Each structure stands twice: as structure tokens, then as C-alpha cells.
């Protein structure tokens, strides 16, 4: 099969684009938070720990949303849950523009995080189940590439909107995806693989037991380590990126400009991962890109000149997001259809705990005037642990039908 066949088949191309746009809106919202907290810190006189708390609460919502939505998607279908989670996070993001206190903003960010966290694993499961096995990995990585476009849009909004119109207008723009949910109702449907097995619905307790059964236990533990370390480092680094740039001496507007440039590097990161994942396999992409991410983190933390900071940031963005694409492609392939969304949701949910700890930990360390280089050493260690877990305990899934998985060794 030609490597571009997936993009030439109208039905699959439409599915990828439709689910991809929902992914883009997710990324736009998460990205905006990183820029908005930098603006809020000045307007509301927030301390480093308060900034960390806002981002952490967003991740707590994502953790809860991933677990709940993943289970509901196995019970009620991928399409319905995808649409509802999109509506939830869009509405909460829009209402965030009306927040008049720090507490109100935190509550709304939890609700928005619930929708965000729920949508991501469901969308990746839907796409993974809807394309041929030979194109499955590439399709999910390409789905993940929409995340980069979302971050780019958030950076553009931050650069052109926040300085002149304020952070509230940025939140208003983030409510637009609610309208897109109306289109999704007609544009997508549940995968045939899921529809065929609906008569074999398992209870929530049975799905949890299956995910932790002897057949899947090793895969589940490996995935949970992988997700925790990747999400911990990603949110710890990227939600603080604009603020770290300011701490390194750049103005708020200049930091937004640099982060936009760094964000652009996500695209080739995704596209190269999409190519390598079907050529060399999932483990190759995950281990290689994670190890280069770890090296880039050390480089960024110790960079002192403007040029070195930009080069390190570009490499960090390139390899980290390529690894994310590989992780989202790999995770659904380790579970059969009847428990796939539950398995993906639980792994993502556990990972989001890392997303809670990462940014909050940075806030605490910054408040104590810990050196940026020291903070990035922590992320280096975490990423290496994730890479080693996949290298030694992960199972290669390239070309394997998830519904015919062998017993875990």
C-alpha cells in the first residue's frame, strides 16, 4: 500500500481532518493557558505558585476527564463522547473570560480540563480503529500533528490579541469550537470495528479487570510509566515556556514571539515521526525521540545566549512532540476493541497526574529561586525513565491487529 494512500481515500481523509480539528482546538486552549498565565501574573499580581496552581488544576481536570470519557466511550461510543467533551471544554473556556477572581478561574479551568482530557484519548482511539493496520500508526501521528497547529494558533492569538485586547478576549476566541461540535455530529461516526462488537459490552468493573489482567498488565504498567514521564515533562516545560523566557530577560511580547518560533518546530517533529513509525516501528520512534528530548531539555535549561536558547527550544519542541505522536499511536494498539478506550483513557489519566505535578513543581522551585538549569535536570531524568521503560518492557505493535494480541510475556 502506498504511504500516502490514507490521504487519498476521501472517507479516511475526512475522518482524520474532522478529528484533527477537534485536536487542534484542544491544543489551542492548552497553549493559550501558557500565554494567559504570563499575562495574568502581571495583571493580577500572581506569584509563581499561583501560576503553577492554575496549570495544575487544568491538568487535574484532564486526568478525571480522560478516565471518565475513556470508559464512557467503550460503553456509549466514540462519536458521542467526542462531541460532548468538545462542548464541555469550549463552554468552560468561553466562560473563563468572565472570571473575576482567581478561585473562579481555577474552577472553570478544571471543567475545561475535564473536557480536554476526555476528548484526546477518545479521538485517538476513534482514528486508530478506523484505518487499515498498515496505516494506523501514521494516521494517529498525523492526527497528533494538529496539536502543533493548535499551539501555533494560540501563539498567534497571544502575540496579536493579548497585548492589545487582553487575556479575556483570548478566552472568548477559545469558545469557538462549540460551534464545530455541530458539524462533528454529521461528519463522523463510530468505527466499524467498535460497532461490530457493541453486543459484547463489558461492565466498567470488567473493563478495569481486563486492563489489569495478566494479558495486559505488563503493557499497562509500561504505558502508565511512559505517560506519566512524558506528560510530567511536557506540561512542566511548555506551560512555563513563556514565563521562563521572561525570567531569562525577554519582554512578554518578545517571549511570545520566540515561543511561536519554537512551536513551529513541532510540525516537522510530527511529520518525521509519522514517517519513521511505520518504517522502523513504535519503539524506535518513542525511545529515539524521548532520548533526544531529554538532551534538549538539559541544553535549554543551561542555554545562556539568545541563539542557543532558540536552538535548544526548537530541538526540544521537535523531539518532544514527535514522541507524543508516537505515544498516542502506540497506546490504542495494546488493547482489544472492547476495552481499548478504557485502557487509553486510564493511561492518559495517570499521565495527567504528571501534568498536575510538573507545572506546580516548577512554580514551587521558581518561588524558591531554584536555578532553571536544575529544574530542567529533573525533566531530563523523567524523560530518560520513560524511554527506558519502553525500551526494556514495551512490546512492538507495528503491523499487529490489537484484537489478536498475544499474551503478555
pLDDT in tens, 231-264: 999 888 877 776 777 776 766 556 667 777 887 8
- The pLDDT value recorded for residue 32 is 86
Q: Looking at per-residue confidence, does 227 or 337 come out higher?
A: 227
Non-local CB neighbours of 41 within 8 Å, separated by 6+ positions: 51, 243
Helix 133-160 / helix 252-264 crossing angle, nearest 10 deg? 160
Determine contact, residues 361/235, Cβ cutoff 8 Å.
no
- The pLDDT value recorded for residue 389 is 97
CATH of the structural domain 10-184+206-397, one choice from 1.20.1250.20, 3.40.47.10, 2.160.10.10, 3.30.413.10: 1.20.1250.20
Tell me the residue length of the chain.
409
Going by pLDDT thresholds of 50, 70 and 90, the confidence category of residue 304 is confident
Give dist(CA 72, CA 204) in Å, integer: 9
Helix residue ranges, H only, 44-176: 48-76, 78-96, 102-130, 133-160, 162-165, 167-173
pLDDT in tens, 312-353: 889 999 999 999 999 999 999 999 988 999 999 999 999 989
Q: Indicate whether 99 pLDDT > 80.
A: yes
Q: Taking the mean position of all CA atoms in its chain, how far away is CA 336?
A: 22
Determine contact, residues 296/316, Cβ cutoff 8 Å.
yes
Buried b (16+ CB within 10 A) or exposed e, 24-36: bbbbbbbbbbbbb
Q: What percent of the chain has pLDDT over 70?
A: 92
The angle subtended at Cα 292 by Cα 296 and Cα 144, nearest 5°, is: 100
The residue to which cell 512490546 is assigned = 395
pLDDT in tens, 355-366: 888 888 888 888
- The pLDDT value recorded for residue 409 is 46
Going by pLDDT thresholds of 50, 70 and 90, the confidence category of residue 2 is very low
The domain segmentation of the chain, as residue ranges, is 10-184+206-397
Give dist(CA 299, CA 115) in Å, integer: 34
The angle subtended at Cα 303 by Cα 390 and Cα 293, nearest 5°, is: 15
Q: Looking at per-residue confidence, does 259 or 45 come out higher?
A: 45
Q: What is the DSSP letter of 44?
A: T
Amino acid at each position: 500500500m502506498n504511504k500516502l494512500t490514507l490521504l487519498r481515500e476521501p472517507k479516511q481523509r475526512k475522518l482524520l481532518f474532522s478529528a484533527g480539528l477537534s485536536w487542534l482546538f484542544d491544543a489551542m486552549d492548552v497553549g493559550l493557558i501558557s500565554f494567559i498565565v504570563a499575562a495574568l501574573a502581571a495583571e493580577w499580581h500572581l506569584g509563581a505558585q499561583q501560576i503553577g496552581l492554575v496549570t495544575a488544576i487544568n491538568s487535574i481536570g484532564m486526568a478525571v476527564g480522560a478516565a471518565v470519557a475513556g470508559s464512557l466511550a467503550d460503553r456509549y461510543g466514540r462519536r458521542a463522547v467526542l462531541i460532548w467533551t468538545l462542548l464541555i471544554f469550549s463552554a468552560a473556556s468561553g466562560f473563563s473570560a468572565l472570571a473575576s477572581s482567581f478561585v473562579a478561574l481555577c474552577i472553570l479551568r478544571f471543567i475545561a480540563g475535564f473536557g480536554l482530557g476526555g476528548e484526546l484519548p477518545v479521538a485517538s482511539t476513534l482514528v486508530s480503529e478506523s484505518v487499515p493496520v498498515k496505516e494506523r500508526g501514521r494516521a494517529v501521528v498525523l492526527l497528533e500533528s494538529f496539536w502543533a497547529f493548535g499551539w501555533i494558533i494560540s501563539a498567534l492569538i497571544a502575540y496579536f490579541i493579548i497585548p492589545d485586547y487582553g487575556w479575556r478576549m483570548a478566552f472568548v476566541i477559545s469558545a469557538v469550537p462549540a460551534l464545530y461540535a455541530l458539524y462533528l455530529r454529521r461528519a463522523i461516526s463510530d468505527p466499524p470495528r467498535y460497532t461490530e462488537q457493541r453486543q459484547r459490552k463489558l461492565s466498567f468493573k470488567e473493563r478495569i479487570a481486563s486492563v489489569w489482567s495478566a494479558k495486559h498488565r505488563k503493557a499497562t504498567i509500561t504505558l502508565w510509566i511512559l505517560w506519566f514521564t512524558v506528560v510530567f515533562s511536557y506540561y512542566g516545560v511548555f506551560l512555563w515556556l513563556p514565563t521562563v523566557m521572561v525570567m531569562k530577560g525577554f519582554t512578554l511580547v518578545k517571549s511570545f514571539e520566540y515561543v511561536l518560533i519554537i512551536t513551529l518546530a513541532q510540525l516537522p517533529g510530527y511529520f518525521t515521526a509519522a514517517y519513521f513509525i511505520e518504517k522502523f516501528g513504535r519503539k524506535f520512534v518513542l525511545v529515539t525521540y524521548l532520548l533526544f528530548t531529554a538532551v534538549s531539555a538539559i541544553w535549554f535549561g543551561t542555554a545562556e545566549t539568545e541563539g542557543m536558547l532558540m536552538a535548544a527550544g526548537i530541538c526540544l519542541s521537535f523531539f518532544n512532540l514527535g514522541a507524543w505522536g508516537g505515544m498516542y499511536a502506540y497506546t490504542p494498539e495494546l488493547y482489544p476493541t472492547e476495552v481499548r478506550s478504557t485502557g487509553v483513557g486510564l493511561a492518559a489519566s495517570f499521565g495527567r497526574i504528571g501534568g498536575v505535578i510538573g507545572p506546580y513543581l516548577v512554580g514551587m522551585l521558581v518561588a524558591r529561586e531554584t536555578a532553571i538549569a536544575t529544574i530542567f535536570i529533573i525533566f531530563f531524568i523523567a524523560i530518560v525513565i520513560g524511554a527506558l521503560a519502553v525500551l526494556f518492557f514495551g512490546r512492538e505493535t507495528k503491523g499487529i491487529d490489537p484484537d489478536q494480541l498475544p499474551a503478555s510475556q
